[in-house]
A and B are shown apart, each in its own frame.
Chain A
Amino acid sequence: MGASSLSVHAVIVQEEQKDKKDKYALLEEALKKSGFWFALEEALFRSRVDKDQFLIVIKPDFQAFELPGSTATDPQLVECLIDHLHERGYPQVIVAESRNSFDIWLENRDVQILADMLGYRYVTPGGNPYHIIDLAEDLVPGPFPPTSLLHGTQLPRKWCEAGFRIIFAKNQTDDEQAYRLCLDNLLSILPLRDKDYHYKLRFKQHEVLSELLNHTTVDFALIDAYVSNHGNAGSHAARPIETCTIIAGQNLLVTDHAAALKMGLDPLTSPIHALALKTIGLPQPYRIDGDLTPYTHWINVQPLMLESVRYRQQWPELSQVLPPLLQMIDQESFPFKDPVMAQLNRVVSRYPSRLDDNPTVFWGFLFLNNLLGLVHQELTALQVIHWKDQLWHQDAPLNIPLEAYNIGEYEAIPEYLEPLEQRTQALLPDENGLRWTFHEDGSVLFEFSRIIPVDYDDFVNRVDISRSIQFMNDYIGGRAIPIQQDTQGRVTHQAERNIYLPQPNYLVFYQGRNIDVSKLEFIRYQDHEQKMFWKTVKSENGSARYDDGSIRFFRRDNGDTMVSIFGRQQFTLPLFWQIINLDNFPALKHVLFTHAYTTFFSNTMSNFEAVYEGRDVRIGKAWDSQAGEADGMSAATALSTRIGKVLDSFQDILQEAHVSKSGVLANLFSTHTPQPEYIDEDGFSHFKKDATAHPPSEKDEQTRRPAIEIMLSENKTAIVKFWKDLFLALQKDAGVHVA
């Protein structure tokens, strides 16, 4: 971070007597008081670049849906900042933004077009020119290490090459994060267009932002709170309030921290801010200058609403479709690309703006959010049990510091496990080959073996033992990082994070969590045996106390392969089962444990057979790493297409039943895609007023009329045939002679 002095601080500059001309003065004062110019000069000095070549990137918030809006950074303030920079001899200033998920749904969301609509003029009122760039257009490899979830992600060249990077956010509430300020704004420097899909669903948003803060630099943070946007709907609805404040700071987290306090919020209310504080923390010492008294008449998002939105947003498909539906949008400026969405948006988006004024709407939203969250939760439970391939893969980074473990710690795992293995092998196996018992500390020791009737050499050539964890039953995601390899290139030391579905699966109905464990692994290769040992060193969600074990591929005397799995496990049970306490019912406990382990390892062994056969055994569906890009289709747009098809079918059925196409339905469900009448030289798409509705022609009426009669006639024939054939089947079963 850009902590350039011992005392990192943020300032809050506020006008009591609002006077719109004073916003420029407020900005100037905030820059001065926050040490902006000092920080800038220090960065210039460090860069050893001439002042006239020193590149400054300003990243404002372009997230506006109405013009003029209260959810985007005021362009006049941005241009004022540029003028100040020119005055001080910094001519190389760029305003930068990137497209986001709304570009998938709406027209005119290209960076340059949007900038133009917002009021950026490429030349400041002071006559100083500047450029506006799309950050995603020129990328360079990002600085993310292999353990990072952003490993392989590119970053904007200009952002990386800039000598000074400024985030200039808008002051506003957010219905999911409580507030949306500089940290949220930072997400825009990531390259992919469908940011909701990639950086909120595929990866967790708070983890993405923490990675960004860890591996990139923001030199200064500014918050435009002159006119803010508040209310329970967050940025979904324009609810401007004149707060006449500018907040500035040399540290992004401190600046956001100060802005949250000004809203009267605990900064930790925001999950993304909370994780950033946990993993990075505030600089020490830090100072906030200015009046921290909360804004008057300010409305924050109610905690109940926050919880319900977070609950609802756990539904990935829905969480992609709902933001454009709920967003209050000036559809003349930003027409929907999909007419179905346009119609639905007109119906739905009027309600969020009433959240603060109409208790019925508020409680209705709360109810619906919780209902949708509950439906998703139960649907997920069914998927875990019955439709595992409908679940999304969990793309999770390795979450242990590799430097904290030396090679000796990997190699010590066999010494820890082998005595426990011997103890378990002394037990008699049950009819399925399972041996298990309890350790004194309550963990379970088990061993399960299966002979796979294939040649051992062939088997180990096809099944890589270092990937064994990924072949286990119900593996849904994780990441393995090889640490060391032998002379043949085989992995011998490895660190791995793996996530399994709740075990046993039915625990999902009791709020059972995924098993999320990070392990050290050591692999030993011998002529007739390969063996991998693992030991859990961390469980991100506290789902496991122990998940240690070993897997052994062994050549039998006849050349066949024997696979044995040993383990020591202790998983955290859901609250319900903790209260039940199965120790009070030892017989039931024995039955449940035996069933759970037999099922898990029987399926795991079949997975090894399947891997040998060459098939992919991983459950779940993979995220599309190119979703939302020019040639890709995001799940959201795919869903919209599906909605369109369903509505088309519905419309067809109703039309068959003599419902006129020119009626209400045509207006509601029309899937005709409007084509722009023309695109002007600035790239704006211009549309005619909707002309899709047209009166039915006489020919239409004639061709439509007999349809229902045909349908009834066909159904009648099918029904008669069904009863006739059923009667024949009954005759056959009764032994009646049938010709």
Chain B
Amino acid sequence: MNALVTGANGLIGTNLVRELLGAGYGVRALVRPTSDIRGLENLPVELVQGDVLNAESLRGATHGCDLAFHTATVFSYWGMSPSSLEQLAVDGTINVIEAAYRAGIRRVVLTSSSVVFGSSTRPSVRNETSHLDEQDSAPYILAKALQERAALEYAAKVGVELVAVCPTMTVGPFGYRLGPSNGIIVSYLRDELRTTYPGGCNIVSVADVAKGHRLAAEKGLPNERYILGSENLKWRNIHQTISELCGVPGPHWEANHTLSFLAATGHELASRVTGTPPLVTRTQAEMVGRYYWYDHTKAAALGYRPAPARQALAEAISWLSAGPHISRQLRAGLRLSREVFQAGKARERKTAVAGVTT
């Protein structure tokens, strides 16, 4: 069976490609001409250049495929206008569904996000029946909500089976562009004050998310949404775990809303000077204090069995510590735990078995 993966060079895309290859799928990877494709190097995939906003380029990409995974998106709280985010999310998705329909692809798996189910100011857990109910949501969250709605409507209209998977905060290897999820780990380690903040989120391994995509494609019900998450943790626990895994003290203190907002403002100003994206933005600071906690019981029915958050973090750190997002100087200050080394070794073994390199 052949599968098309859009956004194949992204964090979820590269891991999904590996998951599909491991399961015996033939994979066609759609990337933009300007994409950083290091995450796909040495993988036995058919690399196709195109753009989800260019319907013409999708026609050739979908030809001969049996399945399509639409992971292409920009998970970012910086650098894109709300309208651009919405255009990429909505128009790009409709283009993919349209191209799938024309190519006779029976099923499209859409990578949505758990944030479409909203968040809480109290530590309560949300599921697929919850709604995005807070006002002034971040443009990224609004774009994902619009994307999902438009996708379900358009797929129903043209008769394509659409299954939406909604990953929570996804961390792990092969993300050569540092997104907000792996960025949580990096920004905490870079912060010499080792700051934590109120609220919490659900952390999941990108390998599990990739597997969840495959399960949704194979066993998911059409027009259904599945949350792909793992453990719900407070930020303090997440940061504590990162500290333990990296052998650094902390967290030392908890920032409140005001300080988070001011710190994020400082990051944004510095970013304008240095020309590099800020590690934390004011949009993210406004999310401080909220609980992005989700329940993945529905996906569990498909056979989805995610690893604990600690293992997800260890896997992510094992890749990040040896990669480009953690500087040599920062790495010299870490004393990684056995779990991190074991996670790295396990990744190497897995990729060696699959016949690809890390």
Which label, helix, strand, loop or mixed, suits the secondary structure of the B interface? helix
Using an 8 Å CB-CB cutoff, how does the interface string of B305-344 with A read, 1 for contact, 0 for none?
0000000000000100111000111011111111001101
CA distance A613 to B258 in the complex (A): 39
B 87-103 contacts with A by CB, 8 A: none
CA distance A739 to B329 in the complex (A): 43
Smallest CB–CB gap between B25 and chain A, Å? Answer: 29
Which label, helix, strand, loop or mixed, suits the secondary structure of the A interface? helix
Q: Say yes or no: A725-B261 contact (C-beta < 8 A), given A453-B338, A739-B135.
A: yes
Which residue of chain A lies nearest to B335 when distances are taken between CB atoms in the complex? A606
Q: Say yes or no: A610-B345 contact (C-beta < 8 A), given A615-B331, A733-B258.
A: no
Taking Cβ atoms with an 8 Å cutoff, the residues of A that contact B are 388-389, 450, 452-454, 458, 473, 602-603, 605-607, 609-610, 613-619, 722, 725-726, 728-730, 732-733, 739
Interface flag for B236 (CB, 8 Å): no
Taking Cβ atoms with an 8 Å cutoff, the residues of B that contact A are 135, 256-258, 260-262, 265, 282, 285-286, 289, 318, 321-323, 327-329, 331-338, 341-342, 344-345
Q: Judging by beta carbons under 8 Å apart, are B344 and A613 in contact?
A: yes
Q: Quick one: which of A607, A613, A726 contacts B261, CB cutoff 8 A?
A: A726
Q: Could you name 15 residue pairs across A and B whose Cβ atoms are closer than 8 Å?
A: A453-B341, A453-B342, A603-B332, A606-B332, A613-B344, A615-B328, A616-B328, A617-B331, A619-B328, A722-B265, A725-B282, A729-B285, A732-B289, A733-B256, A739-B135
Smallest CB–CB gap between A122 and chain B, Å? Answer: 52
Which residue of chain B lies nearest to A731 when distances are taken between CB atoms in the complex? B257
CA distance A605 to B331 in the complex (A): 11
- Provide the residues of chain B in CB contact with A617, threshold 8 Å: 328, 331-332
Q: Quick one: which of A389, A450, A452, A602 contacts B329, CB cutoff 8 A?
A: A389
CA distance A257 to B238 in the complex (A): 72
CA distance A473 to B333 in the complex (A): 11
CA distance A603 to B318 in the complex (A): 18
CA distance A453 to B342 in the complex (A): 9
- Provide the residues of chain B in CB contact with A616, threshold 8 Å: 328
- Provide the residues of chain A in CB contact with B285, threshold 8 Å: 729
- Provide the residues of chain B in CB contact with A607, threshold 8 Å: 332
Q: 8 closest pairs, A vs B, by CB?
A: A613-B322, A453-B338, A729-B257, A603-B332, A729-B261, A732-B257, A729-B258, A606-B332
CA distance A732 to B136 in the complex (A): 15
Q: Judging by beta carbons under 8 Å apart, are B258 and A730 in contact?
A: yes
Q: Which of A613, A618, A728 has the most CB of B within 10 A?
A: A613
Q: Which of B332, B333, B342 has the most CB of A within 10 A?
A: B332
Which residue of chain A lies nearest to B321 when distances are taken between CB atoms in the complex? A613
Q: Judging by beta carbons under 8 Å apart, are B322 and A614 in contact?
A: yes
CA distance A605 to B344 in the complex (A): 18
Q: Judging by beta carbons under 8 Å apart, are A610 and B332 in contact?
A: yes
- Provide the residues of chain A in CB contact with B256, threshold 8 Å: 729, 732-733
Smallest CB–CB gap between B257 and chain A, Å? Answer: 4
Q: Judging by beta carbons under 8 Å apart, are A610 and B338 in contact?
A: no
- Provide the residues of chain A in CB contact with B286, threshold 8 Å: 725, 728-729
- Provide the residues of chain A in CB contact with B289, threshold 8 Å: 732
Q: Quick one: which of A606, A729, A739 contacts B333, CB cutoff 8 A?
A: A606
Q: Quick one: which of A388, A610, A722, A733 contacts B321, CB cutoff 8 A?
A: A610
Q: Judging by beta carbons under 8 Å apart, are A389 and B328 in contact?
A: yes
- Provide the residues of chain B in CB contact with A732, threshold 8 Å: 256-258, 289
- Provide the residues of chain A in CB contact with B257, threshold 8 Å: 728-730, 732-733
Q: Judging by beta carbons under 8 Å apart, are A454 and B328 in contact?
A: no
Smallest CB–CB gap between B341 and chain A, Å? Answer: 5
- Provide the residues of chain B in CB contact with A454, threshold 8 Å: 341, 345
CA distance A605 to B329 in the complex (A): 13
- Provide the residues of chain B in CB contact with A453, threshold 8 Å: 337-338, 341-342
- Provide the residues of chain A in CB contact with B344, threshold 8 Å: 613
Which residue of chain B lies nearest to A620 when distances are taken between CB atoms in the complex? B328
Q: Judging by beta carbons under 8 Å apart, are A606 and B135 in contact?
A: no
- Provide the residues of chain B in CB contact with A606, threshold 8 Å: 331-335
Smallest CB–CB gap between B334 and chain A, Å? Answer: 6
- Provide the residues of chain B in CB contact with A726, threshold 8 Å: 258, 261-262
